[in-house]
Structure 1
Amino acid sequence: MNQPNPGLPSTHHRRVACSFRDNLLRQIFQISLTSLNQLKNDVASRLQELALSLALKCLSFDFVGTSIDESSEEFETVQIPSSWRPLLEDSSTLQIFFDYYVITKAPLSKEALECLVRLASVRRSLFTNDGTRSKFLAHLMTGTKEILQTGQGLADHDNYHEYCRLLGRFRVNCLLSELVNVEGYSDWIQLVAEFTLKSLQSWQWASSSVYYLLGLWSRLVTSVPYLKGDAPSLLDEFVPKITEGFITSRFNSVQAGFPDDPSENPLDNVELLQDQLDCFPHLCRFQYESSGFYIINIMEPILQSYTEIVRLQTFANSELSIIEAKLTWIVHIIAVILKIKQSTGCSVEAQEVLDAELSARVLQLINITDSGLHSQRYGELSKQRLDRAILIFFQHFRRSYVGDQAVHSSKQLYARLSELLGLHDHLLLLNVIVGKIATNLKCYTESEEVIDHTLSLFLELASGYMTGKLLLKLDTVKFMIANHTREHFCFLEEDRCSRSRTTFYYTIGWLIFMEDSPLKFRSSMQPLLQVFLSLESTLDSMFRADTVKYALVGLMRDLRGIAMATSSRKSYGLLFDWLYPAHMPLLLKGITHWTDTPEVTTPLLKFMAEFVLNKAQRLTFDSSSPNGILLFREVSKLLVAYGTRILSLPNPADIYAYKYKGIWISLTILTRALAGNYVNFGVFELYGDRALSDALDIALKMTLSIPLADVLAFQKLTKAYFSFLEVLFSNHMSFILNLDTATFTHIVGSLESALKGLDSNISSQCASAVDNLAAFYFNNITMGEAPTSPAAINLARHIADCPTLFPQILKTLVELVLFEECSNQWSLSRPILSLILISEQIFTDLKAQILASQPADQQQRLAACFDKLMADVTRSLDSKNRDKFTQNLTVFRHEFRVK
């Protein structure tokens, strides 16, 4: 039921599904209910199982076509049609599933609960009025209460999980004001609270199910401000206990010990951690004073123990790991509390003071995490988890309390932090954050996760306009900008952290360019200049040494980061003048000596791909400057050096890593250089310079060395290949047309193959390339007199040698538009017009073919549709005529597809 047929377009599937829903589904659901009632006494029968399964299928139907994936647990409301209203308002419908939960055993009892989960999620507007909805809600509450009172079936883990989901559905569709007015609410909420506390105590049993329960309590407490009337919610009594129960359960889990398998420990599993903590801040802030001081009271003795360990020479590793794990949980909890700033229980001022109290404890912890015995533990997983929690705390604290607006609106927080720690403004606090960032970068060499997380925070601070300016005032940041070497930052030594260097230098570059000083730029680049000078002075005979390899790879990653940070003409100009012409020969030397080693060539080519990218029009040179041409010459030399050598090497087992990856980056470099609009390419031919010809020749050779099946099999290679072809057909048509006919037809054939692909961006690029080719033929051959230019003569020869080329592409395009779901119809319409205008006979033949493939009784109507397609379209390719054709095509497609 509602399973997609891969052979049909999704719109057709949706039409069938809607028709089935409107005409048959309700009756089928009615049959399942009747069967369930009749089979109630037929214990453990196969028919019971089938009837329950059928009911679940009906309730799981994708009623509004939002998703065909019915296995997902995460859905909001179930959009049951209004015609089902009598069934849902009949109390026996709900009751039959509660009955089946009681009389069956797992897995049938779980299916009964699944049906109840979906019924609990039906849209509010389905019910006739508030009275009928209240009766339905009361019935759900009574049923769930009885399960809690008896505990029946909850010893089965699947039942338990599904029952937690059922309670969780109350948060999606029910308001607190509705719940409190239902008779028996106080008993129900008390039982749910007791059940939640038991679930928290049984953390090993219920870890994945607790999320639904916490979600329910979170929704209830956020609804309290909107609660009217005198009916007591009783949340004041239960929520603090649940808050405390959650924290206790985390500590118990730590005490019991997790294996060091990241999939098992929630502190390593980020998704599970988010699930567990997402709802928690609302619970804490509901009774913030009591929750806040509870957290402080349990943290203080642990923090005290951790502080005392600093002075010891040795300490039992297992005990210290448990202390660190408990502190990690508390820091995560405080971080997530700071993430939101709403509170129902106290004033904004009181809330800020409590935020300061909690933050102060984390800041105290930060003062000792890198001292004494703790400074020897960077290789320990528990220490790494703690430092990652501290980084998350910094991220949430910064978003809430750092910045001009935040300081003015957070006076109470900074006043209290000043009393506790002497931190009276956000510059001092920023200094603490940057101090921790610098310490992590200096001390961590074994954990990529900590390094990457640290660099992510550093970049976030540097790229913020306000925080970036503030960072430049700090001595720590000034030191980092001037001394970004491996002597000061040990992670730069580590090969495993090599990729992180780009982010580090992107951030350093961002800060350098923010100062807008050529003098500061040159002094800041001194560490990189020393690496350049060292490599440039290395003899050719020594250039294949490992030390050279690691230095060259590091330098390329560093330079790429700096290049990424140049976002203006001025900052790019500083980097360009620093590199060219003095240091460009090293890149060529690196490529020629290390062609067979992708560890070296990949970062080098990726740097060049970034360096030639004209983002934000940063590559804009003065009108009298030859820099654009000089840069392209360097690109050409590099590509020719790499291409000629890589093509001469035998194919290795891992051909993508060793050949294709370098080739697609090379194509990206050339595509960006050709499309960057900073080179007048006519200059090369005019002055007999072969830089352009050589670059295009080697790029073509590299593309032709890859079988088309492989081009289409690797996503990044596919993207680079067709981006390159789009630029060639747009700006370098004569190069394409000067090729021999076999190569030309291979390239155009590859465009047709990709038109049929699933990626709309790539098919749009191919459509653009085909349109440029067809438009060239139309303007120079169809509409012109005898072709005179060499390019036009070549194209006429190619088409004469391969007369089926254009008809085949037109057929592919028309069939795509008529029979497929294409999100890029506008792009596909452009080449269709160009191809029709080349030869209307081709179009007439295609029309006859398509009509012949349709049912006989439809052919007359469809022929009329075809006739309208060219209405008011003239024989020209001006934009007005193209737009008219596109409009006609949209109408044509719609009318053609009407059954």
Structure 2
Amino acid sequence: RQQTLAMHLLKLVLNCLNFDFIGNSADESADDLCTVQIPTSWKAIFLEPETLDLFFDLYHSLPPLLSQLALSCLAQFASTRRSLFSNPERAKYLGNLIKGVKQILENPQGLSDPGNYHEFCRFLARLKTNYQLGELVMVKDYPEVIQLIANFTITSLQHWEFAPNSVHYLLALWQRMVASVPFVKTAEPHLLDTYAPEITKAYITSRLGSVPIVLRDGLEDPLDDTATVFQQLEQLCTVSRCEYEKTCALLVQLFDQNAQNYQKLLQSSVRNPLEITVQEECFFPLFFFFLSLRVFQLISLMDAQLPQSSNEKVELAILWFLDQFRKTYVGDQLQRTSKVYARMSEVLGITDENHVLETFMTKIVTNLKYRGRCEPVISRTLQFLNDLSVGYPFYCVRHTILEKDRMKINMHYLSSFKHFPFLGITDNYSLSDLRCRTTFYTALTRLLMVDLGEDEDEFENFMLPLTVSFESVTRVFNSSFEQEEAKRMLIGLARDLRGIAFALNTKTSYTMLFDWIYPAYLSVLQRAIEVWYREPACTTPILKLMAEFMQNRSQRLNFDVSSPNGILLFREASKMICTYGNQILSLGTLSKDQVYPLKLKGISICYSALKSALCGNYVSFGVFKLYGDNHFDNVLQAFVKMLLSVSHSDLLQYRKLSQAYYPLLECLTQDHMSFITSLEPHVLIYILTSISEGLTALDTIVSSSCCASLDHIVIYLFKHIAKEGKKTLRCRAVSQDGQRLLHFMQQNPEVLQQMMSILMNTIIFEDCRNQWSVSRPLLGLILLNEKYFSELRATLITSQPDNKREVLDQCFRNLMEGVEQNLLAENRDR
């Protein structure tokens, strides 16, 4: 019973200490820079030494379930705002905290409990967060305590399998302490030059020591969690800079030792695969530290063993190293006479960044050629190639590497599955493995673009492998075809073309691609949508390709005035969207786990493509109606049919769908209100309801698009009413669309009234992140519903406490002060 009482009391204290006294905590889960804003009236209690002593005593005397609550309270005590104390008071308070830490570390039995251990690590990290190193070194017990903390940290790192999530706090403590060394002005020794190298050594050796244990016992590998590893390395790199000579010597020693052992195993007459794997994975943690010369040497040694030997973890670590080296030493903003090149020239013959880029490309080609079955390595290799193809280095890649060996620079060579198996279509590769081809062709096309200019012959040569593939698919379609082979070929081709289209950002190059694919090859893609509409693995890459074609990035789709290509492209997109929409609706009711992959994902891509076309400014949509072409009307009707097959909850639940639908609706309400007003009442109700529900969405893209769509509708309606009041013959001829919308709103007044209520409540009572967007439709709603606005205003004021009613009433008066009965820009901005 006493323990139950103690538990509730400790929880009460913790809740009090966790309370956001000044309302500035945007993220309550954040633990890095937490300061407890204790009220000044509590100061006397905090200054009493007995207060901290009580919680340290509770930790020592209570069982683990309760003692960790005491440590949580102490972590909050350590985070008390500095301004609560004067300098002498703060020093005394810190001394009491350090004394308690010393007692815990001298009697560490309670830390064997994972909960206590974790909370104690948080407690230590909070000490440095809130106190300066100069203040810590002045504490009487600092030399003993920093030694105890160092030993505790080393022990924790050596037992890597115990509470791994707590290591972050210990490394954060040491990182912040080492980072503060240059700012310490006291004469007292900080002793970090003694202990920081030991922390670095413990981390590195413990991770190396974990490799054989993990492999032999089948344990969970802590190095597999790359996000955690990178976070810890960012912390450790600061710690390791303290007495870096010691750290560097250690790394060189460990690397050379492992390299020698690895070479002996490779040269042994009897190879033990497990021993080789252990030795290879011992390099994995070492690659995360810059030993450039040795890594480049080891790359050559390991690649010489291909294709017999390949270790995924080591390859990923090598690629990470190469990428870091690129960021540090390759670029037009970096020193060309870097000392690293002088040393590399002596040992490896690498004299400058051009030679480094050649090494990069050799590694990329090797990986693509021999590691095609390892998707993580291929994806990371292609991402590295893609990064090289962006910005300054890709000129060097093109001119200094691709020109060096005509066999390998030939784009036909680079895009041939004979040389790079991952480009093939065999059953050895899953359909998901084909995704990486988009990245490959994006990078390859960027390299092509360097010197392409208007050279159509070079472009045709580059496209030759795809031309051959498309011709094969065409023949297969025209015969009794092997369905699976044709499908895999088309999936690969769609991904390849999407990568190419993404990289072609000039009008000239994009026109070459359009002339290449239209009309023959686009008809093949249309046929594929008809045949395999039930298989998203096929339809998704084709639809994404069409969506990419519709993107007018860098005005690449602004064809010549004599060219019909913009209209032709839209017609093809319209056919594909209509075909897919009609076919997908024939699937009927789908289960919850099938509805997104089989239906909603494709609909979202269609909406994205349609939005790009409507907002691209490369098609005059009035032409279609003028010349009796129904492609524009057809695609809008397909939009409506697909929309009505989706529930409102799904529209908001699936992020990609909502981020495609709502911007598309914004575009339609902005430029195509005649289409909106022509819709049946039940369709209008659906659309307006979707806008109403989207106004409160957490996604600002959705809520902002909803506000913009509502604003366009309100402005259209208001202008129509204003024109109706003028009663001129000229206005009557163009007011039929507006009359339909006005009649609908008169029949359903609650639609706009509800949205006005939502916007007012959002502005007044919620933390609105896009207040400007939310405010845009408000004036139009008020002018269209003045009576309801007065009622809503009275309701909102009445709902407030007595002491706030006058304030809110004054806010409303200020809101409408000087506002006129129009929606001109200057009136809306008041």
TM-score by structure 1 length?
0.84
SS, match of residue 162 in structure 2: helix
Deviations 1:232-257 (A, max 9, x none): 33333333333323222222222322
Deviations 1:838-874 (A, max 9, x none): 4544545555666676789987886676555433222
Partner of 1:521: 459
- The correspondence of residues 194-593 of structure 1 with structure 2, limited to 5 A, is 194-205=151-162, 207-258=164-215, 264-311=220-267, 315-332=271-288, 334=289, 338=290, 358-372=291-305, 375-378=307-310, 383-408=311-336, 410=338, 412-475=339-402, 478-479=409-410, 482-493=413-424, 494-495=429-430, 496-519=432-455, 520-543=458-481, 545-593=483-531
Q: Tell me which amino acid in the other structure corresponds to 2:309.
A: R
C-alpha distance in 1 between matches for 2:149 and 2:754: 67
Q: Is the 8 A contact 1:782 1:838 kept in 2?
A: no
C-alpha distance in 2 between matches for 1:845 and 1:108: 54
Partner of 1:614: 552
814-823 vs 526-535, which deviates more? 814-823
Q: Tell me which amino acid in the other structure corresponds to 2:409.
A: K
Deviations 1:591-617 (A, max 9, x none): 222222221111101111111012232
Q: Is the 8 A contact 1:481 1:508 kept in 2?
A: no
Residue 682 (str. 1) matches residue 622 (str. 2)? yes
Shift of 1:366: 0.4
Deviations 1:629-666 (A, max 9, x none): 12111112222222222223333431222122222211
Q: Is the 8 A contact 2:442 2:502 kept in 1?
A: yes
Partner of 1:162: 119
Q: Tell me which amino acid in the other structure corresponds to 2:77.
A: L
Classify 1:840/1:85 alpha carbon distance in 2 versus 1 (closer, same or farther; 3 Å): closer
Classify 1:105/1:806 alpha carbon distance in 2 versus 1 (closer, same or farther; 3 Å): closer
Partner of 2:652: 712
Q: Is the 8 A contact 1:543 1:593 kept in 2?
A: no
Residue 79 (str. 1) matches residue 43 (str. 2)? no
Partner of 1:19: none
Partner of 1:753: 693
Shift of 1:393: 1.0
CA RMSD of aligned residues (A): 2.9
Partner of 2:661: 721
Aligned-residue sequence identity (percent) comes to 41
Shift of 1:229: 4.7
808-817 vs 95-104, which deviates more? 808-817
C-alpha distance in 1 between matches for 2:153 and 2:767: 48
Residue 826 (str. 1) matches residue 826 (str. 2)? no
SS, match of residue 406 in structure 1: coil
569-578 vs 587-596, which deviates more? 569-578
Partner of 1:879: 825
702-711 vs 593-602, which deviates more? 702-711
Shift of 1:370: 2.1
Shift of 1:673: 0.5
SS, match of residue 829 in structure 2: helix
Deviations 1:6-60 (A, max 9, x none): xxxxxxxxxxxxxxxxxxxxxxxxxxxxxxxxxxxxx964333333332222222
Q: 1:734 aligns with which of 674, 687, 696?
A: 674
Classify 1:48/1:693 alpha carbon distance in 2 versus 1 (closer, same or farther; 3 Å): closer
Q: Is the 8 A contact 1:85 1:126 kept in 2?
A: yes
Q: Is the 8 A contact 2:197 2:240 kept in 1?
A: yes
Residue 670 (str. 1) matches residue 596 (str. 2)? no
Q: Is the 8 A contact 1:711 1:718 kept in 2?
A: yes
C-alpha distance in 1 between matches for 2:86 and 2:436: 60
Shift of 1:301: 2.7
Partner of 1:343: none
Q: Tell me which amino acid in the other structure corresponds to 1:329.
A: P
C-alpha distance in 2 between matches for 1:485 and 1:875: 67
Q: Tell me which amino acid in the other structure corresponds to 1:692.
A: F
Q: Is the 8 A contact 1:121 1:169 kept in 2?
A: yes
212-221 vs 421-430, which deviates more? 212-221
C-alpha distance in 1 between matches for 2:555 and 2:632: 22
Classify 1:868/1:191 alpha carbon distance in 2 versus 1 (closer, same or farther; 3 Å): closer
Classify 1:235/1:750 alpha carbon distance in 2 versus 1 (closer, same or farther; 3 Å): closer
Q: Is the 8 A contact 1:44 1:104 kept in 2?
A: no
664-673 vs 82-91, which deviates more? 82-91
Q: Tell me which amino acid in the other structure corresponds to 1:595.
A: Y
C-alpha distance in 1 between matches for 2:100 and 2:791: 69
Partner of 2:600: 660
Shift of 1:502: 1.4
C-alpha distance in 2 between matches for 1:232 and 1:55: 37
Deviations 1:683-726 (A, max 9, x none): 11111221211221222222123233433332222232222222
Long gaps (5+) in structure 1: 1-42, 339-357, 885-899
SS, match of residue 257 in structure 1: helix
Residue 149 (str. 1) matches residue 106 (str. 2)? yes
Shift of 1:480: 5.8
Shift of 1:572: 2.5
Partner of 1:50: 8
Q: Is the 8 A contact 2:413 2:419 kept in 1?
A: no
Q: Tell me which amino acid in the other structure corresponds to 1:181.
A: M
- The correspondence of residues 167-178 of structure 1 with structure 2, limited to 5 A, is 167-178=124-135
Q: Tell me which amino acid in the other structure corresponds to 2:195.
A: F
Classify 1:617/1:844 alpha carbon distance in 2 versus 1 (closer, same or farther; 3 Å): same
Q: 1:91 aligns with which of 49, 63, 70?
A: 49
C-alpha distance in 1 between matches for 2:783 and 2:510: 46
Q: Tell me which amino acid in the other structure corresponds to 1:415.
A: A
SS, match of residue 244 in structure 1: helix
Classify 1:482/1:115 alpha carbon distance in 2 versus 1 (closer, same or farther; 3 Å): same
Q: 1:693 aligns with which of 613, 633, 658?
A: 633
Q: Is the 8 A contact 1:741 1:801 kept in 2?
A: no
190-199 vs 558-567, which deviates more? 190-199
Q: Is the 8 A contact 2:192 2:242 kept in 1?
A: no
Q: Is the 8 A contact 1:442 1:489 kept in 2?
A: yes
Shift of 1:464: 2.8
Deviations 1:274-333 (A, max 9, x none): 24323222333322222212221222132122224444576222211211121112112x
Classify 1:808/1:299 alpha carbon distance in 2 versus 1 (closer, same or farther; 3 Å): closer
Q: Is the 8 A contact 1:568 1:616 kept in 2?
A: yes
C-alpha distance in 2 between matches for 1:290 and 1:861: 66
Corresponding pairs, count: 811
Deviations 1:538-570 (A, max 9, x none): 234445611100010111111111112123333
Q: Tell me which amino acid in the other structure corresponds to 1:304.
A: Q
SS, match of residue 419 in structure 2: coil
Partner of 1:644: 582
C-alpha distance in 2 between matches for 1:769 and 1:96: 61
Shift of 1:489: 1.6
C-alpha distance in 1 between matches for 2:67 and 2:414: 66
Q: Is the 8 A contact 1:310 1:368 kept in 2?
A: no
Q: Is the 8 A contact 1:572 1:619 kept in 2?
A: yes
C-alpha distance in 1 between matches for 2:105 and 2:797: 66
Q: Is the 8 A contact 2:372 2:420 kept in 1?
A: no
Long gaps (5+) in structure 2: none
TM-score by structure 2 length?
0.91
Shift of 1:821: 4.1
723-732 vs 764-773, which deviates more? 764-773
